[in-house]
Structure 1
Amino acid sequence: MRALLTSSGIKNGSIHDALVDLLGKPIAEANALFIPTAIYPFPGGAGAAWRAITGQGPSPLAGLGWKSLGVLELTALPSIEEAAWVPTVQEADALLVWGGDPLFLANWMRRSGLTALLPTLRSEAVYVGVSAGSIAAAHTFVETYVDPPRGSDGPLKSEDVVFSTPEGDVDRILVTGQGAGLVDFAVIPHLEHPHHLDASLANAEKWAARIPAPTYAIDDESAISVVDGTATVVSEGHWRLFEP
């Protein structure tokens, strides 16, 4: 399976062209499944999911003009027969994995069976991640929380390190989680974004030091394309690679 891991969706022409290259055909000829699961732990998550699915969200993804677009809700999958949803995933050209809480997403990727299914999908299928969707594609990732997150069914570790925003108004606890292992590196999105104040370059370097794999910190104008295990940065903005 191929991958396009973004910070904030298909934000510019370079990332758009990379998606088309990975698909091997125009977006208008490709069938996609949208996965909104990660957004639900946030206040207003249901409305944010609807806006994202209908292409009205701030990060372009669902509204790119796909031939067909379905919704794959991971929290529903354990309660239905695999025969009802697995063939749909196997036939999709792209899985569009939306942002939100990466720990919540990674947990439901495992519980739903999607994590185990990903390595068996067609080599030309594309996993398209946005923010948490990109974070959860790694084997090991880190994320910050204002309050300690509730446990999941996977490895979870709260670090004794607390990071502050540049203004020092809110402290955040660094947490390590286990993702899908689709790629052999980690992603830190929203680098130096004014609305993600803890994702400064200085903090990204500290986070990356706790990940036993290469870690890409990318801004919203950047993405990482992966084909046959080889990662290529696509960027009209700023990014940084931290080696373990």
Structure 2
Amino acid sequence: MRKLLLTSSGISNPSINDALLELLGKPVSEATALIVPTAIYPFPGGGGQAWRAIAGQNKRPLTDLGWKSVGVLELTALPSIQEKSWVPTLQETDALLVWGGDVLYLSYWLRRSGVADLLPSLDLVYVGVSAGSIAVTPYNCDWDFDQEFIPEGSDMASHAEPLGLVDVTLYPHLGHPDMEDTTPENIERWASGIPVPTYAIDDETAIKVVDGEVTVVSEGDWKLFNP
């Protein structure tokens, strides 16, 4: 997987949209996409939020950008489905849109579904939103928070480290007024214990990664904390 666009809140401004078009190499109207809503289910009301993400009824555009076609890739269903029914679709799609929510839950199902094993070989643009972005980094800044949503008796936490497909980590929603942990001071404290660069990005910023090269795309605020 050569091309990733890791966002805090989707395709939130023209600069991030231009980055997406550059990575696709063609207009959105000629590109196919699959959305992964799985990460949102652990949260109260997650089913409704998943539907809004799929239907393009969120504040930030994602599925409603004018794609040639949009399908749903539900990770929790894949272990019970023959691979020939979904692997070719994934291999042929132009963009994988991975919605936000619970990083731990998402990382667990990316592995259990088999999608994590396929990602490195896929020729597509991986578009992450919040948890969908964190899941491909080496470290989960939401680890403590995600523990609250693990079902009793589950061993999920022991099998749900992020995938580590990029060499930097991410802390989204920098300075968000409704998220106490996203202050620069708190992020800097967390980043001080991480042995790779940490990008703190607000909802108007994205990280573009092409063949391992990182570029910041922003109409807002971001900070880099080096190890």
Which interval holds the TM-score relative to the shorter structure? over 0.9
Aligned to 2:110, the other structure's residue is in SS state helix
- Does the Cα contact within 8 Å between 2:42 and 2:149 map onto a contact in 1? no
The percent of aligned pairs where both chains have the same amino acid is 62
Which amino acid in 1 is paired with 2:193?
A: R
Following superposition of structure 1 onto structure 2, how do residues 1-244 of structure 1 map, counting pairs within 5 Å? 1=1, 2-122=3-123, 125-143=124-142, 144-145=144-145, 148-150=148-150, 152-153=155-156, 155=158, 178-244=161-227
Report the alpha carbon displacement of residue 242 of structure 1 after superposing the two structures with TM.
Answer: 1.0
Q: Deviations over 1:48-101 (max 9, x none)?
A: 111111110122111111000000000000111111111111001000000000
Which amino acid in 1 is paired with 2:86?
A: W
Report the alpha carbon displacement of residue 147 of structure 1 after superposing the two structures with TM.
Answer: 6.0
CA distance in 1, matches of 2:52, 2:146: 25
Say if 1:146 and 1:4 are closer, same or farther in 2 by CA, change over 3 A: closer
Which amino acid in 1 is paired with 2:145?
A: Y
Say if 1:231 and 1:194 are closer, same or farther in 2 by CA, change over 3 A: same
Which amino acid in 2 is paired with 1:199?
A: T
Question: Unmatched 5+ residue regions in structure 2?
Answer: none
Structure 1-normalised TM-score? 0.87
Q: In terms of mean alpha carbon deviation, does 144-153 or 78-87 score higher?
A: 144-153
- Does the Cα contact within 8 Å between 1:9 and 1:59 map onto a contact in 2? yes
Question: Unmatched 5+ residue regions in structure 1?
Answer: 157-176
Structure 2-normalised TM-score? 0.93
**Which one has the bigger strand percentage?**
1
CA distance in 1, matches of 2:189, 2:35: 32
CA distance in 2, matches of 1:155, 1:184: 22
CA distance in 2, matches of 1:152, 1:181: 20
